[in-house]
Chain A
């Protein structure tokens, strides 16, 4: 691309997808890839039918069943009639509109944000949307990826475009290298702890710096996944050799000469050296410790070697009040050591942390506790992100490591991250969860969620409390 003004990656993605910016209208962007699932699509299909409109490019849309499926059975009605209705509706809609669907038990089935990358549906330099806020995950590839509402799902179906206002840009640089045992989850939680849960509202964030470049693709996905948790429209990481190596050879990825041309284009995507951002945040990687949330939004997070904060620690009146209500909901007392907090549930899964590297990391921790079992009073479940992840994990014997230690090894799905199926916490349950949201009631009415990395979740299952694995 030749241009006189230095551009950020976001601006390049914007420009290469701008179909039209008509006077008085919100700019129209082209959508390359649309991922859909059973929960946020039925009303969009219904409107298409009402207006007698087709899906313009059914080949650009891929459907999966993930949100409310059972993790115990591949039967479509195993998670109740409401779920089954939506799943059946998705199957009918996909058939009627010519969309490829990975239905119950299909080898490609899994969480949308896990299967997109692993199948090569997620490509750098593209715009990817899905009726799910964690679509930001795909930004790990240098794709502009964001969650949309059902009216927008319908708009993409009918036109393969979306109207979008241009966001502001924020650069988040993580300098240097993280210490041993610090995961991608710790990096993103530490970032959110700094910005607060709405710190990037109105922005598209670009993560950069040595600590980000050193991450594997799966780790980058974990970082970008939680961009929405501090309000960002999307998160981006510049594609590099790590990205190209990951994409090459994937089932739906371009092949041969087309792939080679793609790599040339993708290489030019990175922000120009002197591009300016509307906001910049810098973190020193060496300062990042293992993180645990103590409150009811992901910004309420602290190092595992810290203590539960007190409302007095906050000067901002809104944060102070949020702290009071969070401590009350979470049943925590200020000053308690994070490592003294006992849990009775453990969930390892979700589009944030259910990929093979996450499962390997969790299994590695289990092995460190040689022969020790999950605490008897704790229910600990492991939910792989997709059938491919599940198969890979089983081929490496990870399932055996988990089940031998007393974890339950489940079928893929979104599961307890949002509890739309029967994987729901009871009132008062306290859960070490590798998911992305610790909102009140998110995993079940009155339940208490602590967001952590897969390593920390595995350790909590075996010890009964949070552990500073790096102490």
Chain B
């Protein structure tokens, strides 16, 4: 996993609540055995007017030319609800997003983002509203500073928090499997004490 330190990027506002993982990456694009090839299908049903994905929907916010280079997605509450498909964060990441900001995330999606190095940031509803307002008025550039847990834009600065280990893992690009494998003796000791039925 790549290390995450700071990121400055353009925000695209997607002011919709309960965006589920079926919307983020519909099921017909899950038939791959690799981790790549999902970005082009991100938000497929909203992004394209036709099923085949040949006609771009000009009204969908992500397709607007002014947001072409966006790397920060500002989203509505309960973002990423539904299925556990990690293809959702893969698709967001491959499209070019580095950060997703919302007032709340579904649990599995949130964990999946951390595990692939896509930074999910929870801010308060009031802060999110302020960001939506700012991004409606003009193109909004934000700087996300993970070590200091801040999201800033000029004078404006919001704090966010992450679980201690998730923060460490993202900052250091930890191989989580390797990290746990270093504790194999502890796991074996646990197994030795398990009841027979387990």
- Using CB atoms and an 8 Å cutoff, list the residues of chain A in contact with chain B: 19-20, 24-26, 28, 30, 32, 39-40, 42-43, 46-47, 51, 53, 68, 80, 82-83, 85-86, 89, 123, 125-126, 131-133, 135, 146-152, 154-155, 158-161, 163, 165, 167, 197-198, 201-202, 228, 231, 233, 254, 258-259, 261-262, 265, 297, 318, 321-322, 325, 418-420, 437, 439-442, 445-446
Contact = CB atoms under 8 A, between A and B. Distances in A.
A77 B180 CA distance: 38
B90 to A, nearest CB: 9
A82 B34 CA distance: 12
B177 A198 contact: no
Contact of B163 (A165, A325, A445): A165
A20 B186 contact: yes
B33 A85 contact: yes
Given A26-B163, A261-B197, A198 B180 contact: no
Given A155-B177, A297-B18, A86 B33 contact: yes
A469 to B, nearest CB: 29
Nearest to A162: B180
A24 B168 contact: yes
A420 B17 contact: no
A380 B89 CA distance: 35
Given A133-B108, A149-B112, A440-B22, A420 B86 contact: no
A85 B22 CA distance: 21
A291 to B, nearest CB: 19
Nearest to B89: A149
Contacts of A20: 183, 186, 190
A149 B183 contact: no
Interface string B56-96: 00000000000000000000111001111110010000000
Nearest to B190: A19
Contacts of A132: 83-84
B165 A25 contact: yes
B196 A254 contact: yes
Contact of A259 (B33, B89, B107, B197): B197
Given A148-B108, A149-B112, A439-B23, A159 B81 contact: no
Nearest to B113: A149
Nearest to A262: B197
Interface stretch (B6-14, B24-32, B141-149): B24-32
A262 B27 contact: no
Contacts of A418: 22, 27, 83
A126 B197 CA distance: 10
B20 interface: yes
Contacts of A150: 86, 112
A24 B166 CA distance: 10
Contact of B115 (A80, A86, A152, A419): A152
A133 B112 CA distance: 12
Contacts of A148: 84, 108, 111
Size category, B interface: 35 or more
Contact of B197 (A46, A51, A265): A265
Contact of A154 (B163, B166, B177): B177
B30 A198 contact: no
Given A20-B183, A322-B17, A201 B107 contact: yes
Contact of B33 (A32, A46, A261): A46
B55 interface: no
12 contacts: A24-B168, A28-B180, A46-B35, A68-B31, A133-B108, A161-B180, A201-B107, A231-B106, A258-B197, A297-B20, A318-B77, A442-B27
Q: Which of B83, B165, B166 has the most CB of A within 10 A?
A: B83
Contacts of B77: 198, 318
A231 B33 contact: no
A163 to B, nearest CB: 7
Given A68-B31, A321-B17, A19 B187 contact: yes
Interface in B165-186: 165-166, 168, 176-178, 180-181, 183-184, 186
A321 B77 CA distance: 13
Interface of B: 16-18, 20, 22-23, 26-28, 30-35, 45, 51, 76-78, 81-86, 89, 104, 106-108, 111-112, 115-116, 163-166, 168, 176-178, 180-181, 183-184, 186-187, 190-191, 194-198
A51 B176 CA distance: 12
B177 A158 contact: yes
Contact of B84 (A133, A202, A325, A420): A133
Contacts of B165: 24-26, 163
Contacts of A24: 164-165, 168
Nearest to B48: A445
Given A198-B77, A321-B17, A420-B30, A149 B84 contact: yes
A159 B187 contact: yes
A440 B21 CA distance: 11
A125 B30 CA distance: 33
Contacts of A262: 195, 197
Contacts of A322: 17-18
A86 B163 CA distance: 35
A150 B116 CA distance: 10
Contacts of B107: 167, 201-202, 231, 233
A304 B84 CA distance: 30
Nearest to A80: B31
Given A132-B84, A198-B104, A442-B22, A161 B187 contact: yes
Given A233-B107, A441-B22, A198 B81 contact: yes
Given A123-B197, A158-B177, A445 B51 contact: yes
B86 A40 contact: yes
Given A30-B190, A155-B176, A198-B78, 7 more contacts: A30-B194, A42-B34, A46-B33, A123-B198, A125-B198, A133-B83, A198-B77
A378 to B, nearest CB: 23
A441 B26 CA distance: 8
Contact of B30 (A39, A89, A147, A233): A39
